[in-house]
Amino acid sequence: MNQFSYLFNPITLFGAVCTLAIFSLIFKENRIYRVFEHMFIGLAVGYDVATTWTQVLKPQWWDPMVVDGQWAWIMTVPVGLMFYGIYTKKFAWMSRLLYGIFFGLTATTIFQDFCQGFMPQVVKSYKPLVPPPAVPNDPWASLHAFSFVVNNLLFMIILTCVLIYFFFAFEQKSKFVQITAKTGRLILMGAFGAIFGSTIMTRMALLIDRVYFLLHDWLRWVH
């Protein structure tokens, strides 16, 4: 066996070719990228359809119906077929009926989301503007108290400015409202910049990981 046989390990070799083909997009969309793009979608869809059977329909529909004998699951078949009404003029409305039920189910989960996910954030936004008692022996006690108040006041002001920026129907005629809304937008830009800056490392780490895959796992130039 050749000393370079590791280059031909099917998983790494195929993986490396796939990686290089995708990376070629950044220079120019090309024939090889196109082939791999289509292969990617093909593999993904093949896998999606298979998992729809193996993870959903087989364990949640076929097995209960056929193996456990819960015969009523058969009734879901004509209901599911209603989706395909969109392909005919006559039955198109039936698909809307089924979609309607799904819309309803999706819509009302908002109440739990509002109470469970959102309201805690409202409560957490009550920021005290009075500092807590100083920690004993803190040489910077007044500085800490000062920054506590300033930061909390800033929190309330930023929150208010951003909220006012997002008022659509109230007339923004008064100078005060205009200025707060404008400030809100500027603060948003600063906040977005911060998000941008903090995301770069995570994204670059992914590229570094891919280069490491090519140089270490495949070519073994790096140890």
Partner 1 sequence: MHSFFAAIPHHGPEYFGKLIIGLLIVLAILGLLHAAPKQSRRAIIAVFTFLGGLFYFLEFFLPVDPKTNKNFLTGQQEFVAQLSAVIGAYAIGLGVVSLGQYHAKIISRKREGWGNSVVLVIAALIMFTFSILNEYHAKTVLFTDPFQHHTQDIHGVFLVLFEGGLAKLDAATFALIAFFIASASYRAFRIRSVESSLLMIAALIVMLASTTIGTALTNWLPTEGPQANFRIEHISEWLLTRLNSPAQRGIVFGLEVGALATSLRLWLSLERGAYFDAEV
Partner 2 sequence: MEHASDNWYVGALSILLALLIVAVIMFAQHRRPPTIRKIAGLNAVDEAVGRATEMGRPVLMVPGLDGLAISTLQALSIFSHIGRNVAKFGNRSIVATNDPLVTGIAEETIRDAYAESGRPELFDTNDIRYLSSQQFAFATGVAGILIRDNVAASFLFGGFYAESLIFAEVGNQVGAVQVAGTTQVTQIPFLIAACDYVIIGDEFYAASAYLSRNPTLLGSLVAQDYCKLILMIIVWLGCIGVSILAAHPGDHPTGWLHFVDKAVKLFKPG
Partner 3 sequence: MTTSEKGSVWARMQRVDRRVIYVLLLLSIIIPMLLPQVEFPILPSQQSKDFYTGIENVAEKTPAKIVIVDGFWASGTRGEQQWQTQAIFTHLMKRHLKFAMLSFDTQNKTLMPAIADKLAPQFGYEYGRDYINFGYRPNSVFQQTVKGMVNDIPGTIKKDARAQPIASYPIMNGIKDSKDVGAVIDITPVSSVGVWIGLFQGASQTPLFYAPTAVMAPEGYPYLDSGQISGILTGVKGAGDYEQLLKTKSFGTQATSALSFVYALIILLVIVGNIGYFIERSNTRKVNA
Residue 212 partner contact from partner 1, partner 3, partner 2, none using kind-dependent CB cut-offs of 5 to 8 Å: partner 3
Q: Give min distance, CB of 69 to partner 2, in A.
A: 29
Listed residue (78, 98, 82) closest to 90, CA to CA:
82
Q: Does 130 bind partner 1 (CB under 8 A)?
A: no
Of positions 73, 145, 172, 219, contacts partner 1 by CB under 8 A: 73
Site residues (CB under 8 A) for partner 2, limited to 163-192: 163, 166-172, 188-189, 192
Q: Which residue has the tokens 């707060």?
A: 180
Should residue 44 be labelled a site residue for partner 3 when binding is judged by CB under 8 A? no
Per-residue contact flags (x/-) with partner 1 for residues 77 to 96, judged by CB under 8 A: xxxxxxxx-xx---xxxx-x
The alpha helices in the chain, defined as continuous H runs, are: 10-23, 31-51, 76-81, 92-112, 119-124, 141-165, 175-212
Residues 200 to 219 in contact with partner 3, rule: CB under 8 A:
200-202, 204-212, 215
Residue 155 is a binding residue for partner 1 (CB under 8 A):
yes
Distance of CA 115 to the CA centre of its chain: 22
Binding of partner 1 at residue 190 (CB under 8 A)?
yes
141 binds partner 1 (CB under 8 A): no
Q: Choose among partner 3, partner 1, partner 2, none what residue 172 binds, the Cβ cut-off being 5 to 8 Å by kind.
A: partner 2
d(CA 204, CA 23): 14
Instruction: In angstroms, give the least distance from the CB of 214 to partner 3.
Output: 9
Q: Measuring CA to CA, which residue among 128, 124, 131, 126 is closest to residue 147?
A: 131
State in angstroms the smallest separation of the CB of 180 from partner 2: 11
| Binding residues with partner 2: total (CB under 8 A) | 61
Nearer to partner 3, 124 or 173 (CB): 124
Whether residue 216 contacts residue 14, with contact meaning beta carbons closer than 8 Å, is answered with no
Alpha-carbon distance values, 1 to 4, 5, 6, 7, 16 (Å): 8, 7, 10, 12, 22
96: Cβ contacts below 8 Å, ≥ 6 apart:
none
